[in-house]
Amino acid sequence: MTPVNPDPTGTAEDGAVAGIVGIGIGIGAIAHEIGLTKDTLRVWERRYGFPQPLRSSGGERLYPQEQVTKLRLVKRLLDAGHRPSKVLPQSIARLQQLAEDSGVGQDAPDAQLDRLVELLRVGRYDDFRFELLKRATREGLAHFVLDVAAPLSARVGNAWAAATLQVYHEHLFSEAMQVTLRSLMRPLSEALRGRGTHPRVLLTTLPGEGHGLGILMAEAMLALADCECVALGTQTPHQDIVDAVTAHEIDIVALSFSASMPAQAVVNGLMELRAALSPNVVIWVGGSSPALRRKLPDGVLNVAGLGPIEDVVAEWRHSAML
Ligand code: B12
C-alpha cells in the first residue's frame, strides 16, 4: 500500500498526500493508489453514499483500510465493465462474489507460474531469477513473453491485490523480468540496428504511467517482427517524445497504459500527443487500461494485446507500400 504521510498537520485536501497513520489514508494518496481521480471519489460519495471517509481535525477526508479494500475491488470491477451504480452500494462480500463470478482477478490454473510466485513470496530471489532465465532460454523469446511474462505479471498483480505479495515483491519481480527480457532481446536488437528496416518504432509510456513491463514485452514482439525499436523507458514528457521522433525518423510511437492511470488522463495525454506529432507518425497503444476501450483520437490505434503485433506490423508495411 502507498505509504501515508505521518504529519497530519496543515495539509490542504488537494495536496498530493494527506493521511494519518492508523486512522486513514488521504484522498490524494488513495486516488493515486487506486487509479481514480479525487473528483470521482467525491462524486461517488455524494451520489452513492460510498466511500464514507472520516475527517481529520482540519476537515480533510481520510479513508480507513476497509474502505480502501472495497475501493480497490470496485475499481477492478469497473475496469472489467461493471457500472458504478451497480457495484458501489454492495458489501465487500457481495463484490468478492461478483469478482469471482465474472473472473476478475482470477488466475488460470498453472502450477509452474504458481511456483514462480511462491519463490518470490518466500524470498528465494536467486532461484526466481534462475527459473525465469531457464524458462526463457528453453522456450525462446516469443513463447516466454506470451506464456510466462504476461500471465506472470497478472498473477503478481493479483497476489498484490490479495495482499499475499507486497509492493517490494513487485519491484523485485519487475527487475528480474526486465533483466531476463533484455538479455534475450539484446542479440536481436543489435542485429536489427542499422539494417534500415521499417517501421521504426519509438516505445515509452506517458507521464503518470510508471509500469514498464507491458511496453518491454511489446518491444520484444516488435523486434521479432523485424521492427527497429528505440526504447525511451517510462514516463517521457510529450515534447521529448516529439523531439525523439524527429531525431530518429520514427514511423510509429508505441505506448503502454496499465489499469492504474485514470482514464481521463489517458485520453487527454493521447489527444495532446496526437496534436503535437506529425500526421505521418502513427500512435499504437496497448495495455489493460479501460480508457483504451473508449473512442480514441484519429491516428491512434489500439493494438489489442501482444499476439496481434505481427499482423498489425504486416498491415502497416502493406499500407506504406501503397
Ligand atoms: C510490476 C507492477 C508494479 C511495479 C512497476 C515497476 C515497473 N518498473 O514497471 C511497481 C511496484 C512500481 C508498481 C506500482 C504501482 N502499481 Co502496479 N503492477 C505491477 C504489475 C504486477 C505488472 C506491471 C505491468 O507492467 N503491467 C503492464 C502489462 C504487463 O500488463 P497489461 O497492462 O495487462 O498489458 C498487457 C497487454 O495489453 C500488452 N501490452 C501492454 N502494453 C502494450 C503496448 C502495446 C503497444 C501493445 C501492442 C501491447 C501492450 O502487454 C501486457 C501483456 O499481457 C501489475 C499487474 C498487471 N496485471 O499488470 C500491477 C498493477 C498494474 N499495479 C497496480 C497498482 C494499483 C499500482 C500502484 C498504483 C500501487 C502499487 N502497487 O504500489 C503503483 C502505481 C505506479 C505508477 N505511478 O504507475 C494495479 C492497477 C489496478 C488498477 N485498476 O488501478 C495492478 C493491475 C495490480 C492489481 N492487480 O491491482 N506496480
What are the start and end residues of each CATH 1.10.1660.10 domain in the chain?
A: 25-101
Average pLDDT over residues 226-235: 97
In this structure, the residue with its CA closest to atom 12 of ligand 1 is 171
> What is the CATH topology of the domain spanning 107-192?
1.10.1240
Residue 243 CA to residue 33 CA, distance in Å, equals 31
Instruction: Give the three cell numbers for residue 241.
Output: 517524445
The amino acid at residue 47 is: R
Spacing, Cα 56 to ligand 1 middle (Å) = 32
Write down the pLDDT at residue 3.
35
What are the start and end residues of each CATH 3.40.50.280 domain in the chain?
A: 196-322
In this structure, the residue with its CA closest to atom 83 of ligand 1 is 259
Answer yes or no: is pLDDT of 5 > 90: no
Contacts of residue 71, Cβ cutoff 8 Å, sequence gap at least 6 = 30, 34, 36, 41, 51, 63
- With a 6 Å cutoff on the Cβ, whether 301 touches ligand 1 is no
Distances (CA, A) of 87 to 14, 31, 163, 251: 26, 18, 22, 42
What are the start and end residues of each CATH 1.10.1240 domain in the chain?
A: 107-192
More reliable by pLDDT, 283 or 195: 283
> What is the CATH topology of the domain spanning 25-101?
Multidrug-efflux Transporter Regulator; Chain: A; Domain 2 (1.10.1660)
Question: What ligand 1 atom has the least distance to the C-alpha of 2?
Answer: 72
In this structure, the residue with its CA closest to atom 22 of ligand 1 is 153
Angle between helix 27-34 and helix 38-48 axes, rounded to 10 deg: 100
Average pLDDT over residues 288-308: 93
Give pLDDT tens digits for 28-77.
999 888 888 899 999 999 999 999 999 988 999 999 988 988 998 899 89
Answer yes or no: is pLDDT of 291 > 80: yes
Write down the pLDDT at residue 22.
61
Answer yes or no: is pLDDT of 2 > 70: no
Mean pLDDT of the chain: 90
In the chain, pLDDT over 70 holds for what percent of residues? 93
Answer yes or no: is pLDDT of 108 > 90: no
Give pLDDT tens digits for 10-27.
334 433 333 444 688 999
- With a 6 Å cutoff on the Cβ, whether 75 touches ligand 1 is yes
The CATH homologous superfamily for domain 196-322 is: Cobalamin-binding domain (3.40.50.280)
Average pLDDT over residues 288-305: 93
Average pLDDT over residues 245-254: 97
Question: What ligand 1 atom has the least distance to the C-alpha of 32?
Answer: 68
- With a 6 Å cutoff on the Cβ, whether 262 touches ligand 1 is no
Spacing, Cα 172 to ligand 1 middle (Å) = 14
Average pLDDT over residues 269-285: 97
More reliable by pLDDT, 165 or 106: 165
Answer yes or no: is pLDDT of 110 > 80: yes
